Amino acid sequence: MTIVSQVSVSVKINVRVSLKYFSYEEFASPDVPHSGEYMDADFLSMLDSAREISGIPFKINSGYRTIEHNYDVGGKPNSSHIVGKAADIAVKGSRQRWVITQALIQAGFNRIGIAKTFIHVDSDDTKDPDVIWTY
């Protein structure tokens, strides 16, 4: 039997920002249609800027997550995904990883997680800034 503790999360519902490179649906939790609308507007603007700087497409693996979906994928209970301030970007190879990471930093992100097949980025001001970690 698995016991899941309930976490209270407050998600700010944003005014839609105009995005050049992304659609809100790319960030939706798979269990709730249109939930990409719960993404933080400032986060999305920064990510759109990073995409512009990089000059290459970003494929979003994960954006907003419901608490249930976050649990199902093994996310941390305090994941920045559940407050709409995080995304996982697919990467193929070291050159793409370098280009995307550099663009994220130039766009102002200071919380980046690097894995073999994705880069996690968030703008969660409740967590330590100026960190890069590996998975």
Going from N- to C-terminal start, the domains of the chain cover: 25-134
**Which CATH entry fits the domain spanning 25-134: 3.40.720.10, 3.40.50.970, 1.10.760.10, 3.30.1380.10?**
3.30.1380.10
- Separation CA 80–CA 61 (nearest Å): 15
pLDDT in tens, 56-95: 999 999 999 999 999 999 999 999 999 999 999 999 999 9
Residue 62's closest CA among 77, 94, 43, 84? 84
Residues of the chain with pLDDT under 50: 1-8
Instruction: Dump the DSSP string for 46-104.
Output: HHHHHHHHH-S--EEEE----HHHHHHTT--TT-GGGGT-EEEEE--SHHHHHHHHHHH
